[in-house]
Amino acid sequence: MEKEKEHASPTTPPTTDPSTNPSTQVRPMSFYPDFSSYMHEGHAPMPHASLPRPDANPSPWTCQGNLTSGFQSSVSSLIGLNSTSLSHEEPNQEPTPDSGEVETLCTPSKSKDDDESRTQNTVHTEGADIIEEPKLGMVFKSEEELVSYYKRYGKQCGFGIMTQRSHRFEDGRLRYVTLGCARGGKARNRTSNVARPRPTSKTDCKAKINATFIEGVLKVLTVHNSHNHGLSPQKSRFFRCNREVSESVKRVLDTNDQADIRMNKSFASLVQEAGGFENLPFSENDCRNYIDKARYLQLGKGGAGALCEYFARMQYKNDGFFSLMDMDDDGRLKNVFWADARSRAAYKYFGDVVTFDTTYLTNKYEMPFALFVGVNHYGQSILLGAGLISSEDTETFTWLFQTWLNCMGGEAPKAIITDQDRAIKNAIALIFPNSRHRFCLWHILKKVSEKLGSHGAYKTGLKSHLLKCVYDSQTIEEFEKCWEVLITTYNLQDNAWLQSLYAERMYWVPVFLKEIFWAGMSITQRSESMNAFFDGYVHARTNLKEFVNQFDNILRKKIENENEADFHSFNVTIPVISVSPLEKIFQDIYTNSKFREVQKEVVGMLGCLPTLHSQDGVIATYHVEDEVCVDDLIKEVTQNVYFNEAKCEVKCSCSLFEMRGILCRHVLAIMRVKKVRTVPEKYILDRWRKDIKRTYTLQSSYDVVDVRPKVSRYSRIMKVCYDVATNAASCDEHAEDMIDKLYAMNEVYRTNKSPHQTCSNVAVILG
């Protein structure tokens, strides 16, 4: 059932799905329709001074005005309806339309400053046709015709309209609809700030009409024409239902905006052309809202050409380059996504946890620049895809996520970290339903001073208490109790920001996230690596053309940093600091950056004091007292460690391994107590190893030529493979034959056998 929908005028473009073709493509716009606009009439043409006003022409409707009482009775008995008003229905019962009910006109209340208030709802406007007031038995061919009539009548009388209630059959056909005054309904106080309540226009006005679908038409069976507020026909154009920017005006606004014409001048020209403000069915603010929400990219001078040139150059250099352009029905660019071959190959190794964020290219258009970022085996950020988007709503993010997923072979990440954004959350639920979604804790805590800094106890206990809830709670029960004490102690029951955080606590509070393993980066590290990815370049004052020209340079620098870290891991050894054989194992296997993290935990063992708490068969429970340094102060924390002697499995309540993929000091302390000399394979993660050959490093799609022989061979092979795939894909028989041969050849090369003897019967035919 649909309730209380004010009539606006959104456009509804068609829907399309993104493609998986790795080449540069241009696709039509995808759109999820807004069903709240299903009653809207079409956009009116731009009014001119020489033309009559928009409300001068009568709406096409058929009226049977002089109905007899017998007809009214027969209609009532036919559909079995009573005369109870819809506004008095019980909420748990299915509402039924009113029938046979009419209310005589009464004088609305008249405000002192409103001379246009009328005692009659039918206003005789000089030089214009009169829209007759609603009467019982009026017949309309369609829902659109009914809405159009009542909207014109409301504009003539001086009130706005809205859909108060409607119901449809299972096949989507309208069963009945109630249209009423936009000031109907009771005011609701939706703000916690009692000193500054939100303004409201609701007066519980009872003016309405109810129409029911009977014998293929909509018949008006209920009429209430009285209002409990003043009416002003001369100001009807300010009601939302009467404000709409036509397509012709939108084109003018688009053209003027691209020509750098300021909005006040653009709107002034429209007023001049229409012959006055009163002849425009929209305001200047409506025009500004349209430009702000224009669903296409404002690329600036030379931006579109630079982007296409960049895509063409990358595609020529590497067939693995992927790009997709999202266009609207008028051929205007809405969204763009791209990922080079290296990013697509790296996703196979580091796509378990992905961070997504939007920043802005700070040119005059403030375009959102979207990044998919992972973490490599050195703890460095690595690009997994990028995009330019026209807006930050659910529809746009859905298109971007689906395109990125297609680009990465349809394999979703295990976890994705984003800002606390409702549109992003909705899109993730649609595209990545099985991925663990987490909010960035760093961004949330960054807002603490802004949201709570004015509280009198902020610096004397409130801030530290909040951080204690977040970081020191080892169980969900502990967090719930600590949060309740926080809210009660500092009288924060009405704080809307804390209420919203608590409602979504499973997305950001560490204790709620410990159950899902992710070996990427710490939640608190996510924003730091995000901001450092482009070394602040995207925040410089630049245009798109300059940004595209520098994009390769930025990514090349990231690759150079990874090569340098790789060199140090194989040529520089970090000495061990203990006699523990476990530390030696990690020294030999992990990259230097990750071994540094292990050593930090080894040093931390000095402050750990384990004691056996209980023994249940092969499972021992230890309490490990730990001393943690916080702001030059020592804080004592006790962690619970569970050790299975039979399987050599261990789990700590701090969940460092589950959160960051590194064994914590508490676990290492218990292993030392139990004399464990080797590290079980399950606790040595491949993503941190330095001895694994990762093929994404062979991908080179940048301007600088990689002279390594292996990279050269790889490029030669890939070019032939793309040619083979193109020819073999001509039919299923060829495709299956080629796949079988490739598997056989791969097995030969994988086992380092001689291909001349083993694969003499394998032939590859091109063409």
**Which CA distances in Å does 642 have to 514, 651, 652, 666?**
15, 5, 6, 10
* Three-class secondary structure of residue 707 per DSSP: coil
381 has a pLDDT exceeding 80: yes
pLDDT bracket for residue 314 (50, 70, 90): confident
pLDDT (average), residues 695-724:
65
Sign of CA dihedral 154, 160, 163, 164: negative
Q: Evaluate whether 141 touches 217 at the Cβ level (below 8 Å).
A: yes
Give the pLDDT confidence of 384-409 residue by residue, as tens digits.
999 988 888 899 999 999 999 999 99
**Which CA distances in Å does 500 have to 420, 463, 581?**
10, 18, 48
- Please tell me which residue, 300 or 399, carries the higher pLDDT value: 399
Helix (H) or strand (E) holding 314: helix 303-317
Determine what percent of the chain is predicted with pLDDT higher than 70: 70
pLDDT bracket for residue 338 (50, 70, 90): very high
pLDDT at residue 7, rounded to an integer: 58
Of how many residues is the chain composed?
767
Neighbours of 406 (CB within 10 A): 18
- Three-state secondary structure readout of 486-537: HHHHCCCCCCHHHHHHHHCHHHCCHHHHCCCCCCCCCHHHHHHHHHHHCCCH
pTM attached to this predicted model = 0.59
269 has a pLDDT exceeding 50: yes
| pLDDT, the chain, mean | 75
pLDDT at residue 327, rounded to an integer: 81
The 8-class DSSP code of residue 62 comes to B
Residues 6+ apart with CB under 8 A from 381: 373, 374, 375, 529, 530, 532, 533, 558
- Three-state secondary structure readout of 166-228: EEECCCCCEEEEEEEECCCCCCCCCCCCCCCCCCCCCCCCCCEEEEEEECCEEEEEEEECCCC
- Please tell me which residue, 677 or 37, carries the higher pLDDT value: 677
Angstrom distance (rounded) from CA 163 to CA 496: 30
- Please tell me which residue, 306 or 218, carries the higher pLDDT value: 218
Neighbours of 404 (CB within 10 A): 27
Stretch among 224-238, 338-352, 653-667, 743-757 having the lowest mean pLDDT: 743-757
Tokens of 63: 């009226």
Residue listed under structure tokens 């107590």: 673
Residue listed under structure tokens 């009914």: 146
417 has a pLDDT exceeding 70: yes
* Three-class secondary structure of residue 280 per DSSP: coil
Tokens of 298: 């404002």
171 has a pLDDT exceeding 90: no
Give the pLDDT confidence of 653-676 residue by residue, as tens digits.
888 888 888 999 999 999 999 999
Quick one: CA torsion of 235, 240, 243, 245, rounded to 10 degrees? 160
pLDDT at residue 388, rounded to an integer: 87
**Which CA distances in Å does 731 have to 478, 648, 734, 766?**
61, 53, 6, 14
Q: Where are the domains of the chain?
A: 138-185+201-238, 247-298, 303-557, 578-687, 709-747
